[in-house]
A = this chain, B = another copy of it.
Amino acid sequence: MRIGELAARAGTTTRALRYYESRGLLAARRTGNGYRTYDEDDLRLLQQIRTLQDFGFDLEETRPFVECLRAGHPAGDSCPASLAVYRRKLAELDALIDELGAVRTRVRAELARAEVLATAKEPGGPEPRCELSPGGMTAAPDVNGAADGREPKGMT
Protein backbone atom coordinates (compact mmCIF):
# COMPACT_ATOMS: atom_id res chain seq x y z
CA MET A 1 0.00 0.00 0.00
CA ARG A 2 1.08 3.59 -0.55
CA ILE A 3 1.58 6.37 1.97
CA GLY A 4 -1.91 7.84 1.70
CA GLU A 5 -3.62 4.56 2.44
CA LEU A 6 -1.32 3.74 5.34
CA ALA A 7 -1.89 7.16 6.86
CA ALA A 8 -5.65 6.75 6.54
CA ARG A 9 -5.62 3.28 8.05
CA ALA A 10 -3.54 4.46 10.99
CA GLY A 11 -5.56 7.61 11.44
CA THR A 12 -2.73 10.01 10.78
CA THR A 13 -1.30 12.08 7.93
CA THR A 14 1.19 11.48 5.15
CA ARG A 15 3.22 14.33 6.55
CA ALA A 16 3.61 12.55 9.86
CA LEU A 17 4.74 9.34 8.14
CA ARG A 18 7.40 11.18 6.17
CA TYR A 19 8.47 12.81 9.39
CA TYR A 20 8.81 9.44 11.12
CA GLU A 21 10.87 8.24 8.20
CA SER A 22 13.13 11.28 8.44
CA ARG A 23 13.65 10.42 12.10
CA GLY A 24 14.71 6.90 11.23
CA LEU A 25 11.54 5.14 12.40
CA LEU A 26 9.34 3.46 9.81
CA ALA A 27 11.42 2.93 6.67
CA ALA A 28 9.70 2.45 3.32
CA ARG A 29 10.45 0.60 0.10
CA ARG A 30 10.05 2.44 -3.18
CA THR A 31 8.26 1.59 -6.40
CA GLY A 32 9.69 2.36 -9.85
CA ASN A 33 8.33 5.91 -9.89
CA GLY A 34 9.65 6.73 -6.42
CA TYR A 35 6.43 6.16 -4.48
CA ARG A 36 6.74 4.78 -0.97
CA THR A 37 5.30 1.30 -0.38
CA TYR A 38 4.28 -0.28 2.92
CA ASP A 39 2.97 -3.62 4.16
CA GLU A 40 1.01 -4.87 7.15
CA ASP A 41 4.11 -5.03 9.31
CA ASP A 42 4.63 -1.33 8.75
CA LEU A 43 1.07 -0.73 9.85
CA ARG A 44 1.69 -2.59 13.11
CA LEU A 45 4.84 -0.59 13.59
CA LEU A 46 2.98 2.62 13.03
CA GLN A 47 0.22 1.60 15.42
CA GLN A 48 2.84 0.98 18.07
CA ILE A 49 4.23 4.46 17.56
CA ARG A 50 0.80 6.08 17.71
CA THR A 51 -0.24 4.22 20.83
CA LEU A 52 2.85 5.37 22.67
CA GLN A 53 2.37 8.89 21.37
CA ASP A 54 -1.11 8.84 22.84
CA PHE A 55 0.48 7.94 26.15
CA GLY A 56 2.58 11.07 25.85
CA PHE A 57 5.82 9.38 24.89
CA ASP A 58 8.31 11.39 22.86
CA LEU A 59 9.01 10.04 19.40
CA GLU A 60 12.52 9.12 20.50
CA GLU A 61 11.09 7.02 23.29
CA THR A 62 9.16 4.91 20.82
CA ARG A 63 12.39 3.88 19.12
CA PRO A 64 13.16 0.86 21.35
CA PHE A 65 9.65 -0.48 20.72
CA VAL A 66 10.01 -0.01 16.99
CA GLU A 67 13.39 -1.68 16.88
CA CYS A 68 12.05 -4.52 19.00
CA LEU A 69 9.28 -5.14 16.50
CA ARG A 70 11.68 -4.91 13.60
CA ALA A 71 13.91 -7.47 15.29
CA GLY A 72 11.04 -9.92 14.86
CA HIS A 73 9.61 -9.94 18.36
CA PRO A 74 5.87 -10.48 18.70
CA ALA A 75 5.30 -7.16 20.49
CA GLY A 76 7.14 -3.87 20.73
CA ASP A 77 7.50 -4.27 24.46
CA SER A 78 9.05 -7.74 24.33
CA CYS A 79 12.51 -6.25 24.78
CA PRO A 80 14.28 -5.02 27.92
CA ALA A 81 14.91 -1.59 26.44
CA SER A 82 11.18 -1.09 25.99
CA LEU A 83 10.46 -2.14 29.55
CA ALA A 84 13.04 0.35 30.72
CA VAL A 85 11.20 3.11 28.88
CA TYR A 86 7.93 2.01 30.48
CA ARG A 87 9.48 2.21 33.93
CA ARG A 88 11.11 5.55 33.33
CA LYS A 89 7.84 6.92 32.01
CA LEU A 90 5.97 5.66 35.03
CA ALA A 91 8.41 7.40 37.33
CA GLU A 92 8.01 10.60 35.34
CA LEU A 93 4.25 10.31 35.50
CA ASP A 94 4.30 9.80 39.25
CA ALA A 95 6.58 12.77 39.75
CA LEU A 96 4.52 14.99 37.50
CA ILE A 97 1.23 13.99 39.08
CA ASP A 98 2.62 14.66 42.54
CA GLU A 99 3.91 18.02 41.45
CA LEU A 100 0.63 19.01 39.85
CA GLY A 101 -1.22 17.89 42.95
CA ALA A 102 0.96 20.16 45.06
CA VAL A 103 0.34 23.08 42.74
CA ARG A 104 -3.39 22.40 42.83
CA THR A 105 -3.35 22.49 46.60
CA ARG A 106 -1.53 25.79 46.63
CA VAL A 107 -3.74 27.40 44.00
CA ARG A 108 -6.82 26.23 45.88
CA ALA A 109 -5.49 27.84 49.04
CA GLU A 110 -4.78 31.10 47.25
CA LEU A 111 -8.24 31.11 45.73
CA ALA A 112 -9.90 30.45 49.05
CA ARG A 113 -7.94 33.21 50.74
CA ALA A 114 -8.67 35.72 47.97
CA GLU A 115 -12.36 34.82 47.94
CA VAL A 116 -12.66 35.42 51.66
CA LEU A 117 -11.02 38.81 51.36
CA ALA A 118 -13.25 39.70 48.44
CA THR A 119 -16.58 38.77 50.05
CA ALA A 120 -15.48 40.40 53.32
CA LYS A 121 -15.53 43.87 51.80
CA GLU A 122 -18.55 43.31 49.61
CA PRO A 123 -21.91 44.61 50.96
CA GLY A 124 -20.92 47.39 53.26
CA GLY A 125 -17.79 45.54 54.21
CA PRO A 126 -17.75 44.10 57.75
CA GLU A 127 -14.39 45.72 58.43
CA PRO A 128 -11.75 43.29 57.12
CA ARG A 129 -10.12 42.10 60.30
CA CYS A 130 -6.67 40.70 60.58
CA GLU A 131 -5.07 41.76 57.30
CA LEU A 132 -1.91 39.75 57.64
CA SER A 133 0.63 39.61 54.81
CA PRO A 134 -0.82 42.53 52.83
CA GLY A 135 1.04 41.54 49.67
CA GLY A 136 -1.04 38.42 49.35
CA MET A 137 1.56 35.88 48.28
CA THR A 138 5.12 36.82 47.59
CA ALA A 139 8.38 34.95 47.41
CA ALA A 140 6.83 31.57 46.68
CA PRO A 141 8.95 28.59 47.78
CA ASP A 142 9.09 27.30 44.19
CA VAL A 143 6.91 24.23 43.78
CA ASN A 144 9.28 22.73 41.27
CA GLY A 145 11.81 21.47 43.71
CA ALA A 146 14.34 20.33 41.14
CA ALA A 147 16.92 22.82 39.92
CA ASP A 148 15.43 22.91 36.46
CA GLY A 149 13.85 26.34 36.81
CA ARG A 150 10.41 27.19 35.44
CA GLU A 151 8.29 24.10 34.86
CA PRO A 152 5.13 22.15 35.41
CA LYS A 153 4.65 22.77 31.65
CA GLY A 154 1.65 20.66 30.88
CA MET A 155 -1.49 22.45 31.86
CA THR A 156 -2.72 24.78 29.13
Q: How far is the CB of A139 from chain B (nearest CB, A)?
A: 7
Question: A74: nearest residue on chain B (CB-CB)?
Answer: B134
The answer to whether the Cβ of A21 comes within 8 Å of any Cβ in the partner chain is no
Encode contact with B along A123-150: 1 for CB under 8 Å, 0 otherwise.
Answer: 0000000010011111110111000001
Indicate if A62 sits at the interface (CB-CB under 8 A).
no
Residues on the B chain within 8 Å of A131, using CB: 74
How many copies of this chain sit in the oligomeric assembly? Answer: 2
Contacting residues, chain B, for A107 (C-beta < 8 A): 55, 86, 89-90, 93
**A86 and B110 contact, CB distance less than 8 A:** yes
Chain B residues lying within 8 Å of A77, measured Cβ to Cβ, are: 110-111, 114, 136
Instruction: Categorize the interface residue count of chain A.
Output: 35 or more
- Tell which of A22-30, A31-39, A44-52 binds the partner: A44-52
Tell me which of A82, A87, A96 has the highest count of chain B C-beta atoms within 10 A of its own C-beta. Answer: A96
Q: Is A71 an interface residue (CB 8 A)?
A: no
A106: Cβ under 8 A from any B Cβ: yes
Q: Could you list 22 A-B pairs, sorted by A, with CB under 8 Å? A: A44-B135, A48-B138, A54-B143, A55-B107, A55-B140, A55-B152, A56-B103, A56-B154, A56-B155, A74-B135, A77-B114, A78-B117, A78-B136, A83-B115, A83-B118, A90-B104, A93-B103, A93-B104, A97-B97, A97-B101, A152-B154, A154-B155
